[in-house]
Amino acid sequence: MSGVLHGAAAFRSGAISATAAVAETLDRISRLDAGLGCFTRLFARQALDEAQVQDRARAQGRRLGPLAGVAFAVKDLFDLAGVTTTAGAASRLDAPPAARDADAVARMRAAGAILVGTLNMDEFAYGFVTRNAHFGTTRNPRDQARLAGGSSGGSAAAVAAGMLPVTLGSDTNGSIRIPAALCGVYGLRPGRGAVSVRGCFPLAPSLDTVGYFAATAQDFPLLFGTLKDDGASNPVMETPRVATLGGWFARNVTPDLQVAIGRIGERLGARGTIELPEVERARSAAFLITAAEAGNLHLPALRTRAGAFDPETRDRFLAGALIPAAAILQAQRFRRWFIARTFEAMGDHDILLAPAAPGVAPRIDDPVIQVGGRSVSARVQLGLFTQPVSLLGFPVLTVPVAAASGLSMGVQLIAKPGGEALLFRAAQALEEDGLVGMAPVQDRDVHTAFA
Amino acid sequence: MMQSPSDIMLALAEFSGIEIPAAYRPGVIGNLALIQAHMQQVMAFPIPEDIAFACEDRP
């Protein structure tokens, strides 16, 4: 699968028509998705119609958007005009259709990108595994016996399998960064407020962000330029000062991921290790804020239609709705303290390096990870290294690195607010040197027998 | 008799008009135990008085 820039250039130059590009995409999806479970809905007819309109526009010499001829899909929590937003929940299948596109979708379409479908996720985005009671489990294209990660698992797996060059997702506590790591693709959680979340079904509004997955680091500036709010991110031209995060972020990490982080640090000229204060407490604060905001959001539906929820999600929401106000006030105050102390700890450093997940994707039939020598639930605990960073609201780009096993792992590149462009430049340099990158998945290795 | 933290939270839920059906209680109590551990982490931290509450923090 070529990237967004490549696909857009091929269309503009006439090397391929939009109709042929979309037809090729749909064909690939039809061949591979039965074994992966990435898609929840396909809009084949509409996508082909839109592609024909673009082909005619090009033939007439009309101006085309920078993403014309490029197919994309979205996590099933983005509003699409005329379509019901399921948020991965059976309880929302009969909800009224959205009146208009989510802002991020509208911006992609305005730039010429062609929507082909919606992608699987954990119910209401509350999980790290993409095991959905109604829509099924999304399997990891690198090993279908393993989890894709979540909650934007369908979005990550679709890019990893080469079905699409770009997909949209959301990240509250790691829902872009974790599946990006486990599926072996790039995933951006922009800084809070950089990309509009309007029209996205919320999980925890004070932590939610909208971001995207892509196959190559080269595509990130164009995509961010398309999606960002006016004024977000300032390009920085100087060489970034880099440090590796130690302490909490150096424990429970597999040896090959530690080596990968070391190599990335060396290439970026990392100047030692920084320890952030109270990281474990930051994770707890993010956990409580998420649980309380999500629980409160869903309480009306839980009162009337609790039986329609996935039992695991239902029980988590109900428990979250019972968290005392004192704990939430304290967690939000701690959040301000943690942000201030992190700025101090970063000093003049521009980028911090940290693992995105402890190692490779857990097996579907044994969905656990090792933390402190104990096996714990991947669904709840995979956010070990992403949750504390969510509390900061800083921009984070997960870059994929290969594990010795052939599976994938991920490293978080974390910048200060407005530092997205710095992250893109660093990732491009790493990709050019072959230290990070999306390894292609061979079609013959994707088995439909898993359907 | 001393009640467990989960019992107290469930009683408070009832007080607030949030009904937890008996069939859901084991799952909810399991999650409350996890929440309790995180609450203890957060509540034990001495935050300076000049750090005020703000729910829509952007760094």
| Cβ A427 vs Cβ A10: under 8 Å | no
| Cβ A161 vs Cβ A185: under 8 Å | no
Q: Name the residues of A annotated as catalytic.
A: 75, 151, 175
**Which helix (H) or strand (E) segment is A305 a member of?**
helix A279-305
Least confident of A46-50, A145-149, B45-49: B45-49
pLDDT of amino acid B7? 82
Q: Is A277 on the interface with B (CB under 8 A)?
A: no
Distance from CA of A83 to the nearest CA of B (A): 30
Exposed/middle/buried for residue B18 (C-beta within 10 Å: 0-12, 13-18, 19+): middle
Q: Is A44 on the interface with B (CB under 8 A)?
A: no
B58 pLDDT tier (thresholds 50, 70, 90): low
Mean predicted confidence (pLDDT) in A44-59:
98
Amino acid at A271: R
The model's pLDDT over A307-320, given as tens digits with 9 standing for 90+, comes to 899 999 999 999 99
The model's pLDDT over A326-367, given as tens digits with 9 standing for 90+, comes to 999 999 999 999 999 999 999 999 999 999 999 999 999 999
Under an 8 A CB cutoff, do A315 and B43 touch? no
The model's pLDDT over A210-257, given as tens digits with 9 standing for 90+, comes to 999 999 999 999 999 999 987 665 656 578 999 999 999 999 999 999
pLDDT of amino acid B2? 61
State the virtual CA torsion across A340, A346, A348, A350 in degrees, nearest 10: -110
Helix axis angle for A311-321 and B25-43, nearest 10°, is 50
Task: Give, in order, the Cα–Cα distances in Å from A313 to each of A108, A200, A250.
Answer: 31, 19, 30
Share of chain B above pLDDT 90, in %: 41
The model's pLDDT over A7-47, given as tens digits with 9 standing for 90+, comes to 999 999 999 999 999 999 999 999 999 999 999 999 999 99
A161 pLDDT tier (thresholds 50, 70, 90): very high
Under an 8 A CB cutoff, do B57 and A306 touch? no
Helices (H) and strands (E) counted in chain B, each on its own, are: 2, 0
* Least CB–CB distance from B38: residue in A288, A324, A393: A288
pLDDT of amino acid A290? 97
Look up tokens 């954990």; give the residue.
A122
A347 Cβ contact list (under 8 Å, min separation 6): none
Distance from CA of A20 to the nearest CA of B (A): 43
Q: Is B41 on the interface with A (CB under 8 A)?
A: yes
The model's pLDDT over A278-325, given as tens digits with 9 standing for 90+, comes to 999 999 999 999 999 999 999 999 888 888 999 999 999 999 999 999
Phi, psi (5° rounding) for residue A79?
-65, 135
d(CA B27, CA B31): 6
d(CA B39, CA A322): 12
| Pairing mode, strands A351-355 and A242-245 | parallel
Mean predicted confidence (pLDDT) in A271-282:
96
Distance from CA of B1 to the nearest CA of A (A): 22
B24 pLDDT tier (thresholds 50, 70, 90): very high
Under an 8 A CB cutoff, do B56 and A322 touch? no
Q: What is the ipTM of this complex?
A: 0.89
| Cβ B51 vs Cβ A336: under 8 Å | yes
| Residue of chain A nearest B17, judged by CA positions | A303
**Which helix (H) or strand (E) segment is A42 a member of?**
strand A39-42
pLDDT of amino acid A442? 86
pLDDT of amino acid A247? 97
B16 Cβ contact list (under 8 Å, min separation 6): none
* Least CB–CB distance from B51: residue in A337, A393, A417: A337
Under an 8 A CB cutoff, do B39 and A323 touch? yes
pLDDT of amino acid A391? 96
Best of A284, A302, A313, A391 to substitute, by most chain B Cβ atoms within 10 angstroms, is: A284
A209 forms beta bridges with A171
> Taking 70 as the threshold, does the pLDDT of residue A63 lie above it?
yes
A275 Cβ contact list (under 8 Å, min separation 6): A245, A246, A247, A345
Question: Shortest CA distance to A378 belongs to which of A370, A389, A388?
Answer: A370
Q: Is B23 on the interface with A (CB under 8 A)?
A: no
The model's pLDDT over A407-439, given as tens digits with 9 standing for 90+, comes to 999 999 999 999 999 999 999 999 999 999 999
pLDDT of amino acid A87? 98
* Least CB–CB distance from B59: residue in A285, A314, A394: A394
d(CA A55, CA A220): 25
Under an 8 A CB cutoff, do B59 and A339 touch? yes
| Residue of chain A nearest B15, judged by CA positions | A322
Least confident of A152-161, A214-223, A244-253, B25-34: B25-34
3-state SS assignment for residue A363: strand
pLDDT of amino acid A258? 97
Under an 8 A CB cutoff, do A322 and B58 touch? no
A123 pLDDT tier (thresholds 50, 70, 90): very high
Model pTM score: 0.96
Task: Give, in order, the Cα–Cα distances in Å from A83 to each of A98, A109, A137, A248, B47.
Answer: 6, 16, 22, 43, 46
pLDDT of amino acid B13? 80
Q: What is the mean pLDDT of chain B?
A: 84
The model's pLDDT over A360-396, given as tens digits with 9 standing for 90+, comes to 999 999 999 999 999 999 988 899 999 999 999 999 9
- Between chain A and chain B, the number of residue pairs with CB atoms below 8 A apart is 116
